Chains A and B, each alone.
Chain A
Amino acid sequence: MLDCGLDMTSTLNFLPLPLVQSPRLSNLPGWSLKDGSAFLDKELKECSGHVFVDSVPEFCLPETELIDLSTVDVILISNYHCMMALPYITEHTGFTGTVYATEPTVQIGRLLMEELVNFIERVPKAQSASLWKNKDIQRLLPSPLKDAVEVSTWRRCYTMQEVNSALSKIQLVGYSQKIELFGAVQVTPLSSGYALGSSNWIIQSHYEKVSYVSGSSLLTTHPQPMDQASLKNSDVLILTGLTQIPTANPDGMVGEFCSNLALTVRNGGNVLVPCYPSGVIYDLLECLYQYIDSAGLSNIPFYFISPVANSSLEFSQIFAEWLCHNKQTKVYLPEPPFPHAELIQTNKLKHYPSLHGDFSSDFRQPCVVFTGHPSLRFGDVVHFMELWGKSSLNTVIFTEPDFSYLEALAPYQPLAMKCIYCPIDTRLNFIQVSKLLKEVQPLHVVCPEQYTQPPPAQSHRMDLMIDCQPPAMSYRRAEVLALPFKRRYEKIEIMPELADALVPMEIKPGISLATVSAVLHTKDNKHVLQPPPRPAQPSGGKKRKRASEDIPDCKVLKPLLSGSIPVEQFVQTLEKHGFSDIKVEDTAKGHIVLLQEAETLIQIEEDSTHIICDNDEMLRVRLRDLVLKFLQKF
């Protein structure tokens, strides 16, 4: 199984979980059907023309109907965003396989899960709505609830215990490490340049190579650069995890982010940045480190609030070997690779596990707050939205591309605060993909259907699709796809003593052949030629019988023949041996030599020779021996 991401957009259908009691949210009117029946008013609330589920938020799990996850042997994880569904799989499906991921992926993935669990568990909600999921009722609901798919499979968040259990099943791997899977294939993670420890995977046998490219980046940000060279010579390249916003250039967006941040703060407003606790935030802090002095923002406090803020900031500094070259060299100076260390030291950046506690006493405005969750449905961000939403001096800047910012904002409407959408997605865009494919030259590309055509809203943008030759094979949800290659060969090992015994004969310059008699031993998808057992010594009793049961019978081997028969010389030889009245006919596949007197036919074809004579075994053997003279035996 390649990756197991969690679809969190389902949470957008739920009301936010306020950390502090919010009169506005708790007093929202219940929703009633058109006919006035109000049996859903406990579960559904109306806010600014939208209807939300008033319940613990639920997530949409990976497909479980189509495949039995207990039959999955291995899960390969590309990056920490693509493992958020792992506890659901390892803990509830009978999964007994192994999960492979790099160390930073696991550590930061743990932080993300921990934050998620913490956000949801610290606002206990008694109510769990389920009535609305009834298919007959769901049909009557307004969009987007009406159109939500597979709502019956939506699940509440996992617990920390499940997280720990899931993570314990992960086997840590390093870049370029070769891992044997049941002898059948070898898998290798490669740096993908997107996030700390993010990987692409190579899955290869001796004669076939499949690359799985997911969440990769060619931009120079903090992680180790993408390893492109190792992706060469792939039979199939499975391509996914491209940028979600191909029209937004990350550089431009960072500039936009800084400009809007400065503009707000200079006017005395606060800036709220809903974000994940790891990833782009490191790059943003680095940009701000360079920018705040020049923009005269040195006195403005920057707050990073997350239950895992401290760990995230510290982890980033210790994964030196997973960082880009520049940052790695800093470690030897020794300096912290990320400049946020200095921001913390100089008190410009302060981090808190929650807005309760120290933060409330340190809090000073105007300020910039980085906090989660980007969906705006849970986490400390909910509080700041409620607190700052009423003033047009304040600004919320969306940098994470995973959620539609308009949907995220829906339960906070009407909103006076300014909203800026600067999605920063460093993953590959289509131009970079086409460069990558030119460089790597896979025989076939397999990708989601969406990548093979321009976005529906911009149908003229031919540049917003994958352009490669041969055209990419696309797949869609629940489609079964046969990868376009056949396994033709298997590699077989030969035991040394057997190899010693071979006597090669050169049949053409540079090509030698040898016959081998051996036993093919196949176990764990490994094939080994072993010496055949010695011919059974005639010794009496049961022993002999048992031996013959164990070892297959070895017949006396006939020699193998090779070579071709030159017809003219063959005819001459026949004449020399007394045959006359010989006629040669050319056929499509070779020749027929006709011995009219003897009423005999010799059919000579590329891969067979037949002697057809009427019940004259003597003659046949004589002719056979003449034929054999022209062939090599071994």
Chain B
Amino acid sequence: MDPECSQLLPALCAVLADPRQPMVDDTCLEKLLDWFKTITEAGSSLLLLQENPCLVELLCHVLKPQDLSSRVLSFSLRLTGVFAAQEDCFQYLQQGELLPRLFGEAGPLGGAAWTAPTVRSGWIQGLRSLAQHPSALHFLADCGAVDTIFSLQGDSSLFVASAAGQLLVHILSLSMRGPAEGPPSLQADDWPPCAQKIVGHIEESLRSTATPQITQALNVLTTTFSHCHDPWTQVLWVQLHPLVAALLQKDPVPAAHSLVDLLLSVARPQALRAQAFAVLLQPLACVLQATAQGPGPSGLLDSTAADSVTADMLLPSKAACVGLLCQTLAHLELLLPLPQRPCPWPQAPLLGAAVTLLQLCRGSGSPASDAGRQLCALLLGCVRVQRAALDFLGTLSQETGPPELVTQVFAVLLEYLRSPDSSPTVLKKAFQATFRWLLSSPRTPGCSDLDSHTLLFLRELLPVLQKRLCSPCWEVRDSGLEFLTQMTRRWGGQAGFRHALLASEVPRLTEQLLRDPESYVRASAVTAMGQLSSQGLCVPPAGPEHPGSQQKSLLGELLHILSTDSEGFPRRAVMQVFTQWLRDSHADVVGDTEQFVAGVLQVAGQDLDWEVRAQGLELALVFLEQMLGPPRSHCPYAVTPPVAAPAGPLTQALQSLCRVRLFEFAFRALFDCDRPVAQKSCDLLLLLRAKTASSSSLQEPRSSPDVASVEAALQRWRAGDQAQPLGDLEPEVVLAVLRSMDLEGLRGALAESSDHVEKSPQSLLQDMLATVGILGENEADCY
């Protein structure tokens, strides 16, 4: 606890203990409790109590007969539980007899305060917190708390009753976890007395004729079996199941809902999972059966289950059919990557079902039965099912399938990509699914290039992509470009892909989309062109037969977008491309890297979009690393030879950084009104300082006049006046300025969120005191 809080705490405890100072806002008490929980989780409770005796005084004080508010009493009970969760602190409180006085018969339990549900709830929660160690178990047994908990199961407050049930489960499992000497016996007769007592109570309740009691017992058992799968739970079940079975024979069955919950929680999980999966597969089995060319099971469900499956469940209405199919597909999609998915996974029939669904939605399937034809009429043109099925199909690409089915997958994907009726969202999903299937398509052994089937597919795909890039719908152009970027990133280096792409019009069309009227499309075109260019897949500038396009290098075009585009997305995309180009030593950049970096930083520094400025810092960082070497690894196991940067190259590198005006850019960003930019700049300058720390040749007295003028200028910048440029900087001056700056302090300040002051515990304590007028002069935080 920080000293400021320690100072405020006695006053606060005094306020809490004073019945004349009612705490109106009980959320403050909750926050206070949360704060104490954080403190005790991080350190010793005992120490806390010893250093702040006011806390124990508060706990003692609440025991005095007085009109203390039930909220404060409840708070104190819960606070005591938090402290007593640590065994040494528990002992400490025991010595003062504080615990029995708070939780035993002598405490609030017998008094008038007990009528308030919040006090009963506080009592339970306090015990729930402290019941963490064997000493606590003894205490519970000695003070007779367990009997009180039994009776609280039937409390008029539902919260109290439910908490009591959960506390019982907790105590049972704590006592069965047993002492350190070993696992508890599997013989129920040998169980610890506390556990025996609870089990005895449950047995008694199950034999009861009163439904509420039966319900309480069943709920305790359900919670136990759902949360704990230790061997003793099986013993418990063996012991209790005759009583449960007896309940089932009663007419009417008492507490039927609770009984079902219990039975579900004890059922064998594997068997249940298989049943649940069968239910999930039914709609798709229907689809396969309705469209099957011949009789026989679809392969999704075994023949007995399939017999009972009829297409009737899908056919009553379009809404029902579509809703059911979409849900099924979404669930299966979530299930596929999970380790606990059913085994064996019916990949081939599911693939078949997805393809069939997509065909039905397009009217291209050929259902043989009436049910199939009806299904076709229901699903025709249904965008929701198309989207869900394409997503699902994409997910299925994680597994292989029989070759003839994979061929069908590509065929149906191509059909969707080609179709003029595919809606923009469906097309996007079709592109995504296609990419995933291309990723999973087999490679020729020993060669990383695409196999011949995939290349054939690609040759059919590219004309479609070409057309989509000219779509009147911008969403379609955009998803086409995204797809192209993904493909190029993945296969741009491979001969087959390069050949097919260069033979198409796609690169030229992409270049034209840099001037698209829609900013998202321009941004995607920038990214795509950046990628194409990185892979050497850009076509030479348009010839005289294309008067529409200007002869301009891509670099120039992108710089033009960066400096003139009215929307942020394309400018951000340009910065990302430039950063990547610098990182990859792109041919257009390598020629004159300094000029490139200087030009980009100059434009980016003036951008109104903070993301562009932040990306500028990213680019600056890449440049810096290229000049000075990468940052030292922070991994403690990495072997890092102690290398001192040689002075000569360092000087040159710094001069280079000065020439591109990287420092001016970074210093300006340091005082940026957008925190992420400032943070990034701070990190960059810290890195730079660390890089240059070992260099001795550049040590200069920091009192030179240049340094002073730069520092003065920076002071003005910090104050908001950034009009004056820094001018040409010498490396020595920069280093001197860097050393004089409290960059660590700045980084700390920037790391804190803007509401960190309001959220601090000190602020909480001050607020609580201010509301009762103790800190009259204190400026309370305004929420």
Of A5-13, A261-269, A619-627, which stretch is located at the interface? A261-269
B420 in contact (CB, < 8 A): yes
A268-B470 CB under 8 A given contacts A247-B363, A461-B376, A463-B376 = no
Which residues of the other chain, B, contact A260 by a CB distance below 8 angstroms?
467, 470
Which residues of the other chain, A, contact B760 by a CB distance below 8 angstroms?
none
Check if A266 sits within 8 Å of B512, measured CB to CB.
yes
B637: min CB distance to chain A, Å: 56
Which residues of the other chain, B, contact A252 by a CB distance below 8 angstroms?
419-422
Chain A residue, CB-CB nearest to B521: A294
Which interface residue of A259, A261, A290 has the most chain B CB atoms within 10 A? A259
| Among B476, B505, B547, contact of A263 (Cβ-Cβ < 8 Å) | B505
Chain A residue, CB-CB nearest to B467: A259
Mark each residue of chain A from 267 to 296: 1 if its CB lies under 8 Å from any CB of chain B, else 0: 110000000000000000001001101111
In chain B between 356 and 414, which residues have their CB closer than 8 angstroms to a CB of chain A? Answer: 363, 365-368, 372-374, 376-377, 380
A398: min CB distance to chain B, Å: 14
CA distance A255 to B467 in the complex (A): 10
B721 in contact (CB, < 8 A): no
CA distance A390 to B277 in the complex (A): 60
B775: min CB distance to chain A, Å: 64
Check if A268 sits within 8 Å of B546, measured CB to CB.
yes
B251 in contact (CB, < 8 A): no
A241: min CB distance to chain B, Å: 23
Mark each residue of chain A from 292 to 304: 1 if its CB lies under 8 Å from any CB of chain B, else 0: 0111100100000
Chain A residue, CB-CB nearest to B380: A463
Check if A294 sits within 8 Å of B516, measured CB to CB.
yes
A502 in contact (CB, < 8 A): no
A249 in contact (CB, < 8 A): yes
Which interface residue of B467, B546, B547 has the most chain A CB atoms within 10 A? B467
Check if B517 sits within 8 Å of A299, measured CB to CB.
no
B749 in contact (CB, < 8 A): no
B513: min CB distance to chain A, Å: 9
A424: min CB distance to chain B, Å: 11
B380: min CB distance to chain A, Å: 6
A-B contact count (CB 8 A): 82
Check if B470 sits within 8 Å of A259, measured CB to CB.
yes
Mark each residue of chain B from 532 to 554: 1 if its CB lies under 8 Å from any CB of chain A, else 0: 00000000000001111000000
Mark each residue of chain A from 245 to 259: 1 if its CB lies under 8 Å from any CB of chain B, else 0: 001110011111011
Which residues of the other chain, B, contact A266 by a CB distance below 8 angstroms?
470, 505, 508-509, 512, 546, 548
Which residues of the other chain, B, contact A263 by a CB distance below 8 angstroms?
466-467, 469-470, 505, 509
Which residues of the other chain, A, contact B518 by a CB distance below 8 angstroms?
294
Which residues of the other chain, B, contact A254 by a CB distance below 8 angstroms?
472
Check if B363 sits within 8 Å of A296, measured CB to CB.
no
Check if A295 sits within 8 Å of B470, measured CB to CB.
yes
CA distance A64 to B49 in the complex (A): 112
Which residues of the other chain, A, contact B421 by a CB distance below 8 angstroms?
249, 252
Which residues of the other chain, B, contact A287 by a CB distance below 8 angstroms?
472
The 4 A-B pairs at the shortest CB distance, nearest first, are namely A252-B420, A262-B470, A256-B420, A258-B472
CA distance A255 to B547 in the complex (A): 25
Which residues of the other chain, A, contact B422 by a CB distance below 8 angstroms?
252
Check if A296 sits within 8 Å of B548, measured CB to CB.
yes
B468 in contact (CB, < 8 A): yes
A609: min CB distance to chain B, Å: 60
Which residues of the other chain, B, contact A259 by a CB distance below 8 angstroms?
467-468, 470-472
Task: Please name 8 further chain A to chain B contacts, defined as beta carbons within 8 Å, in addition to the given A263-B467, A296-B516, A463-B380, sorted by A numbering.
Answer: A253-B420, A256-B420, A258-B472, A263-B505, A290-B472, A291-B472, A460-B365, A461-B363
CA distance A272 to B106 in the complex (A): 100
Check if B548 sits within 8 Å of A422, measured CB to CB.
no
Which interface residue of A261, A290, A294 has the most chain B CB atoms within 10 A? A294
| Among B373, B512, B545, contact of A296 (Cβ-Cβ < 8 Å) | B512
A598 in contact (CB, < 8 A): no
30 contacts between A and B (CB under 8 A): A247-B363, A253-B420, A255-B420, A255-B471, A255-B472, A255-B473, A256-B420, A258-B471, A259-B467, A260-B467, A263-B469, A263-B505, A263-B509, A266-B470, A266-B509, A266-B546, A266-B548, A267-B505, A267-B508, A287-B472, A293-B517, A294-B474, A294-B517, A294-B518, A296-B516, A296-B548, A422-B420, A458-B363, A460-B367, A462-B374
| Among A262, A422, A463, contact of B377 (Cβ-Cβ < 8 Å) | A463
Chain A residue, CB-CB nearest to B515: A296
Which residues of the other chain, B, contact A248 by a CB distance below 8 angstroms?
420
B754: min CB distance to chain A, Å: 41
Check if B467 sits within 8 Å of A462, measured CB to CB.
no
Which residues of the other chain, B, contact A258 by a CB distance below 8 angstroms?
470-472
CA distance A254 to B376 in the complex (A): 25
CA distance A249 to B368 in the complex (A): 25
Q: Give the number of residues in B that approach A within 8 Å (Cβ atoms).
A: 37
A297: min CB distance to chain B, Å: 8
Which residues of the other chain, A, contact B374 by a CB distance below 8 angstroms?
462
Q: How large is the interface on A (under 10, 10 to 19, 20 to 34, 35 or more residues)?
A: 20 to 34
Which residues of the other chain, A, contact B548 by a CB distance below 8 angstroms?
266, 296, 299
CA distance A422 to B420 in the complex (A): 9
A392: min CB distance to chain B, Å: 12
In chain A between 473 and 501, which residues have their CB closer than 8 angstroms to a CB of chain B? Answer: none
In chain B between 488 and 547, which residues have their CB closer than 8 angstroms to a CB of chain A? Answer: 505, 508-509, 512, 515-518, 545-547
CA distance A287 to B548 in the complex (A): 21
Mark each residue of chain B from 1 to 30: 1 if its CB lies under 8 Å from any CB of chain A, else 0: 000000000000000000000000000000
Which interface residue of B421, B505, B547 has the most chain A CB atoms within 10 A? B421
Check if B472 sits within 8 Å of A460, measured CB to CB.
no
Which interface residue of A261, A290, A463 has the most chain B CB atoms within 10 A? A463
CA distance A253 to B547 in the complex (A): 29
CA distance A252 to B467 in the complex (A): 13
In chain B between 184 and 216, which residues have their CB closer than 8 angstroms to a CB of chain A? Answer: none
CA distance A475 to B749 in the complex (A): 86
Chain A residue, CB-CB nearest to B518: A294
Which interface residue of A247, A253, A290, A293 has the most chain B CB atoms within 10 A? A247
CA distance A249 to B381 in the complex (A): 10
Which residues of the other chain, B, contact A422 by a CB distance below 8 angstroms?
420
In chain B between 428 and 487, which residues have their CB closer than 8 angstroms to a CB of chain A? Answer: 466-474, 476
CA distance A248 to B547 in the complex (A): 35
B344: min CB distance to chain A, Å: 33
Chain A residue, CB-CB nearest to B505: A267
A295-B472 CB under 8 A given contacts A266-B548, A268-B546 = yes
CA distance A247 to B363 in the complex (A): 9
A460-B509 CB under 8 A given contacts A255-B472, A266-B470, A299-B548 = no
| Among A247, A267, A299, A462, contact of B547 (Cβ-Cβ < 8 Å) | A299
Which residues of the other chain, A, contact B466 by a CB distance below 8 angstroms?
263
A395: min CB distance to chain B, Å: 11
CA distance A259 to B476 in the complex (A): 11
Which residues of the other chain, B, contact A463 by a CB distance below 8 angstroms?
363, 376-377, 380
Chain A residue, CB-CB nearest to B369: A460
CA distance A263 to B480 in the complex (A): 14
B78: min CB distance to chain A, Å: 64
Which interface residue of B366, B372, B466, B548 has the most chain A CB atoms within 10 A? B548
Mark each residue of chain B from 252 to 294: 1 if its CB lies under 8 Å from any CB of chain A, else 0: 0000000000000000000000000000000000000000000
Chain B residue, CB-CB nearest to A393: B545
CA distance A262 to B505 in the complex (A): 12
A194: min CB distance to chain B, Å: 21
CA distance A254 to B366 in the complex (A): 28
Which residues of the other chain, B, contact A460 by a CB distance below 8 angstroms?
365-368, 372-373, 376
CA distance A262 to B466 in the complex (A): 10
Chain B residue, CB-CB nearest to A252: B420
CA distance A163 to B422 in the complex (A): 45
Which interface residue of B377, B509, B518 has the most chain A CB atoms within 10 A? B377
Chain A residue, CB-CB nearest to B423: A252
CA distance A462 to B547 in the complex (A): 51
Which residues of the other chain, B, contact A462 by a CB distance below 8 angstroms?
373-374, 376-377
B514: min CB distance to chain A, Å: 10
